[in-house]
Structure formats: structure tokens, C-alpha cells
């Protein structure tokens, strides 16, 4: 969701490449919505009636990624009690989204490269080739070219995946979208809480929202807004907490002084009994 020029340009590029049956690589910071972009690519493609499967490569150990992608035969390893179909096989005729592909081990990258080039692979524990028709959309927030330079990512695979490379714009560059998204998330949260009225943001809150750097992007904005709505019982939200981990008991810098030896002591009037000498 958005109306900024950057967002609309990105959506236009998505729409342009969606019908082309080639891999797409999505680059972007965490929380920018790379999976939503991949989803849109699939449903605007000619494969929209097929499966759209996802795999978060950073959520699995290196030893599990291969079996998740390619499946395995019964007895392929300890615990493999029966044959299991992998994501590539299950996504046949559709799209497979590989999130955080920079986390895939080099030996598994070699097998992915074979699927991209020849549309075939073997299950773990089998020598039988399986042919599939799968479009791959990959995403990462890592500097994938730097990974190639450090021999942590196969250059051949990067070449095959980058038919089109799209960079998802960060929220801080989409200034006019911040309030639009904030109001959207506020309305959804109010409905979830069964509130009669949807709270509005005060001018001060709007200034705070638009001035924030948003390192966590849209995901962070969603959390911040939902927390503000749930905590507020009024129809107007004037206070925004960006850091829920800040402790109300942590001393402010003005309350802490140092003595001649450089040791921290409580400032006068702070009421800290540990600073009093016998």
C-alpha cells in the first residue's frame, strides 16, 4: 500500500516483469515487504493458478535446507522413515519464493543452479532425476555481490537469478506513505480490539512518525502503530513509543555524575541510597 512516487515506480516494475517467465531477485532491508512483492509477482504472472510456496532460508539449519528444497527418499538419513516431497516438486507449475537466499550453503546452491538451468534435480538419497517447471523468485537483505567476492555465494547462480533485480524502497524514502500506512494499521487494530472509533494521530504524533528513521521499515511501523492504538483509550493518539525496550528505571545522563576518580555516583537529589557514604 502506498502512493509515493517511489512506491508506484516499484509497483510498475513489478507489473512489467511479472508475466515474463524468468527468475527475479528482490533486494531490500528487513521489513520492507519483499514477500508481499514476491506474492504480487506470482499473482500477476501466467502461473497465478499454480502454487506459490515460500521458504525462509535463514530459519533452517544448513543441513535441513537441502531436504526441504529437494525432498528425500526413505532411508536417506537417520529419521527419514518415508519419502518426502520437497518444495521444488510441490511448486511444480507455480512459483517458489526463496527468502534470504544468501543463507543457502554453497553445495545446495549448486543444486539450485541445476534446477534453474535444466529444470531437473534429485531427491536426497536418490539418483533419479525429477523434472519440474518452477519459477524462482529470490530475496535477500544481504550484499550478495560481497558474498560472491568472499566465495560465499556462487556467481553463476547469481547470474541466473538476476534476470531482473528489483530493490524494494525503504520506508524512510517513502515519506508520504508513512501516515497512509499508519492510519491503515490503526484502523485494523481498532477493529480487532472492537473499538467503536478509529483513533486519529495528533499533529505532534504525525511529526514524530514522519521524522523517525524506521530501520525496521513497514514491519516496525505496524508494531509501533498497533501498540499505540492498544495502549490509548482516547480517540486521539499524541504519544508514540518507538523503543519498547527502554527502561523507565534507567537513569538519565543528567542524573549521573563522576567523582574525581572517574567513578559513577548519583547526582544530588537522585535519592539513590547506594551513593551515600557512611
Tell whether 36 and 110 lie within a shared domain: yes
Instruction: Please classify residue 3 by burial: count the beta carbons closer than 10 Å to its beta carbon, then call 0-12 exposed, 13-18 middle and 19+ buried.
Output: exposed
Mean pLDDT of 212-235: 95
Mean pLDDT of 38-50: 97
Q: What is the CATH number of the domain that holds 232?
A: 1.10.8.60
Tell whether 122 and 157 lie within a shared domain: yes
pTM: 0.84
Label residue 278 by pLDDT band (50, 70, 90).
Answer: very low
Last residue of a domain, one of 169, 190, 217: 169
Tell whether 20 and 156 lie within a shared domain: yes
At 125-156, the pLDDT tens digits run 888 999 999 999 999 999 999 999 999 999 99
Write out the E strands in the chain.
24-27, 52-56, 95-99, 120-122, 129-131, 135-140, 164-167, 200-201, 236-237, 256-258, 264-266
Tell whether 74 and 154 lie within a shared domain: yes
Minimum mean pLDDT among 45-59, 208-222, 244-258: which range? 244-258
Residue 251, domain member (yes or no): no
Residue 155, domain member (yes or no): yes
Residue 109, domain member (yes or no): yes
pLDDT of 174 over the 90 cut:
yes
Residue 272, domain member (yes or no): no
pLDDT of 60 over the 80 cut:
yes
Q: What integer best gives the mean pLDDT of the chain?
A: 90
Cell of 15: 507489473
Last residue of a domain, one of 137, 169, 201: 169
Tell whether 57 and 155 lie within a shared domain: yes
Tell whether 31 and 86 lie within a shared domain: yes
Residue 253, domain member (yes or no): no
Last residue of a domain, one of 150, 169, 188: 169
Q: What is the pLDDT of residue 264?
A: 55
* 151/154 Cα distance (integer angstroms): 7
Residue 38, domain member (yes or no): yes
Q: Which residues form the domain of 204?
A: 172-237
* 278/30 Cα distance (integer angstroms): 53
Into how many domains does the chain fold? 2
Residue 258, domain member (yes or no): no
Tell whether 132 and 189 lie within a shared domain: no
Q: What is the CATH number of the domain that holds 141?
A: 3.40.50.300
Q: What is the pLDDT of residue 253?
A: 60
Tell whether 176 and 198 lie within a shared domain: yes
Amino acid at each position: 500500500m502506498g502512493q509515493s512516487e517511489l512506491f508506484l515506480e516499484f509497483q510498475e516494475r513489478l507489473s512489467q516483469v511479472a508475466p515474463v517467465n524468468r527468475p527475479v531477485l528482490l533486494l531490500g532491508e528487513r521489513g520492507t515487504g519483499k514477500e508481499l512483492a514476491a506474492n504480487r509477482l506470482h499473482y500477476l504472472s501466467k502461473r497465478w493458478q499454480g502454487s506459490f510456496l515460500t521458504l525462509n532460508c535463514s530459519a533452517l539449519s544448513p543441513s535441513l535446507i537441502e531436504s526441504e528444497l529437494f525432498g528425500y527418499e526413505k532411508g536417506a538419513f537417520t529419521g527419514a522413515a518415508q519419502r518426502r516431497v520437497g518444495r521444488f516438486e510441490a511448486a511444480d507449475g507455480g512459483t517458489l519464493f526463496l527468502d534470504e537466499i544468501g543463507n543457502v550453503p554453497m553445495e545446495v546452491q549448486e543444486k539450485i543452479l541445476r534446477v534453474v538451468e535444466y529444470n531437473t534435480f534429485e531427491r536426497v538419497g536418490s539418483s533419479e532425476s525429477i523434472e519440474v517447471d518452477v519459477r524462482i523468485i529470490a530475496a535477500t537483505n544481504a550484499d550478495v555481490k560481497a558474498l560472491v567476492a568472499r566465495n560465499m555465494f556462487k556467481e553463476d547462480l547469481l547470474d541466473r537469478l538476476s534476470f531482473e533485480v528489483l530493490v524494494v524502497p525503504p520506508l524512510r524514502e517513502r515519506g508520504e506513505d508513512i501516515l497512509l500506512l499508519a492510519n491503515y494499521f490503526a484502523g485494523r487494530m481498532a477493529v480487532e480490539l472492537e473499538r467503536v472509533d478509529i483513533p486519529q494521530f495528533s499533529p505532534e504524533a504525525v511529526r514524530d512518525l514522519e521524522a523517525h528513521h524506521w530501520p525496521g521499515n513497514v514491519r516496525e511501523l505496524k508494531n509501533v502503530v498497533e501498540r499505540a492504538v492498544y495502549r490509548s483509550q482516547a480517540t486521539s493518539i499524541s504519544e508514540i513509543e518507538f523503543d519498547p525496550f527502554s527502561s523507565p528505571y534507567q537513569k538519565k545522563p543528567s542524573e549521573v555524575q563522576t567523582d574525581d576518580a572517574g567513578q559513577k555516583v548519583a547526582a544530588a537529589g537522585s535519592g539513590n541510597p547506594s551513593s551515600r557514604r557512611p
